[in-house]
Structure 1
Amino acid sequence: MIFVGLLIAVPLGWTLYLSVTDSEGSVRAKSNLVGLSNYFEVLTDTDRFWPAVMRTFVFTGGSLAIELILGMCIALLLWRPFRGEKWVRVAILLPLVATPVAVGMMWRLIFDPNIGFANQVLSWIGIPAQPWLSGQYTALPTLMFVDIWQWTPMVVLMLLAGLTSLSDEPDEAARIDGANSWQRFWFVTLPLMRATVIVTIVLRGIDALKTFDLLYATKGKGGGSFHEVETLNIYAFGLSFDYNDYGIASTVLILFFLLIIAIMWVLTYRRKANRS
């Protein structure tokens, strides 16, 4: 526990120190303490910081919501035994096998505006070609689709584990009372699954907030020419390794860390409130 604590505390403490300095060019170069001026500069940046915050929330919230809905539907289908269920489960888990960078490069080829398979399929049904990843307003929704494709299986696994741990007695009692399938799910299964759903939201939500490799592999520096997919991770990476502005980059990371802690606290508090 001490070792793990040091692995967390030392980088976090160093980043916190850099966030109150004017460090740039090199972290070993001489720097001066500037107090909270970096925080005021970042929090008043309406050109890059706040749009990156908005994209982070849109990407995370949109992907997570759809993954939960699809994950619950698929988990319910896999809940009861059926013929060939093992092969179906293997097929569903295939997207998790590949790394996010490999997935990003694969979908980058599929969505290529000139030779991509996606636009070829659209041409077969008479729909004009779409910019997909190259469009200013289509890149983020497209990457949300890729994230949903890859990580919905993980949500399925977590929800399916919760479903298999439930007792059959409440569902059988509701069936005897004449409840239909939707009523049994909404009033019996879902309330019993509330704790599992919250844990799934916490784990998958934090993972989605930290998404970097998929975005960088498909759009590169700055999240595209118009920063169309620039989330807080991409923004902080660019400040650090493109502009070597370590003071501002560390400030962004500290604010991002506090944001994640706040979200975790809210979800954990709601979980405790539901238990009580």
Structure 2
Amino acid sequence: MDKHIKWIFTLPAVIFVSIMMAYPLIYTFRISFYEWSMSSVSAPKWVGLNNYTSLLQDERFWDSLWITFYYTSASLFIEMILGVGIALLFFRGFKWDQGAKTVLMLPMVATPVAISMVWMLIYEPTMGIANRFITALGFEPLEWLGSTSQVIPSLIIIDVWQWTPMIAILVIAGLTTLPQDPYESAAIDGASALQKLMYITLPLLRPTIIVALVLRLVELLKQFDVIYSTTMGGPASASETMNLLSYITAFEYFKMGSASALLMMFFVLVIGLILLLLWIRKRLGVQL
């Protein structure tokens, strides 16, 4: 009885969480095969795979897929590079105390809507501090969130500012657990600081870096609040990610069947990317 007591106490929570995760997924999958408009009193109509085929023929869907890929990959790449760099800088060059941790965590604890409002003021074309800064450097003012070509880079800047500290904190936690024996041996052999970084620190940090990468990848793919609060998918759908398009399809166009099909395709995309990362981790021989 004693060896099974941990399962008895945790079973209710496991069942509850499983139901809360499985039911919405199954329900969304079921609705994706129906034509159902929330603006109509008629019952949902079975259409089979029509919602999926219609999406594949919709240029707006492919645009949202590209925007999602562009926004996610660029943000993830910049955040990983900056996060690892900041972690190494703080861990080796600066005193890592509670005050530094607090400063790094400030962007993460602010609410997304508040962050969006502040950055909308920063990006304001006439009075915003962003244009004041670049014009002081001799450059032409930009439209930032109001330009179809500049809106995604502008949103990437917001995400990098907010979430790079999380990568840095995770990597610093990984740095504190690294063994010192390899560094002592390398110092005896006359290894330089760069050689220690490339051949000791980064290889030992692989598990931590992969965990941070997976966490940020999932969060970036489902990013919604900041994008919706700042641009609502505009201008001209230039910042409309798959997540945002599904929301607009469901709650602005009231096409629940099409929105459900889009969400299922988005779900498959996320799972596929996660499995790819896990396969890469296995190929690299990284143990988490």
Task: Say yes or no: TM over 0.5.
Answer: yes
User: Contact 1:158 / 1:200 at 8 angstroms: preserved in 2?
Assistant: yes
- Pairing of 1:185-264 with structure 2 (within 5 A): 185-220=197-232, 223-264=233-274
Unaligned runs of 5+ in 2: 1-13
Residue by residue over 1:139-173, the C-alpha shift from the partner in whole angstroms, topping out at 9 and shown as x without a partner, is: 10010010000000111111111111110111221
Residue by residue over 1:24-60, the C-alpha shift from the partner in whole angstroms, topping out at 9 and shown as x without a partner, is: 1259740111111111111222x21011011111111
Which residue among 152, 161, 172 is the counterpart of 2:184? 172
Identity of aligned residues (%): 41
- Partners of 1:158 and 1:246 in 2: how far apart? 39
Residue by residue over 1:216-249, the C-alpha shift from the partner in whole angstroms, topping out at 9 and shown as x without a partner, is: 01002xx113111100011001000110001110
User: Contact 1:236 / 1:250 at 8 angstroms: preserved in 2?
Assistant: yes
Secondary structure, counterpart of 1:30 in structure 2: coil
- Pairing of 1:89-168 with structure 2 (within 5 A): 89-168=101-180
- Partners of 1:209 and 1:180 in 2: how far apart? 39
**Could you tell me how far 1:176 is from its partner in structure 2?**
2.0
**Could you tell me how far 1:93 is from its partner in structure 2?**
1.6
Match of 1:50 in 2: 62
- Pairing of 1:60-79 with structure 2 (within 5 A): 60-79=72-91
Match of 1:270 in 2: 280
Amino acid at match of 1:247: G
Amino acid at match of 2:163: W
- Partners of 2:37 and 2:96 in 1: how far apart? 58
| Number of equivalent positions | 273
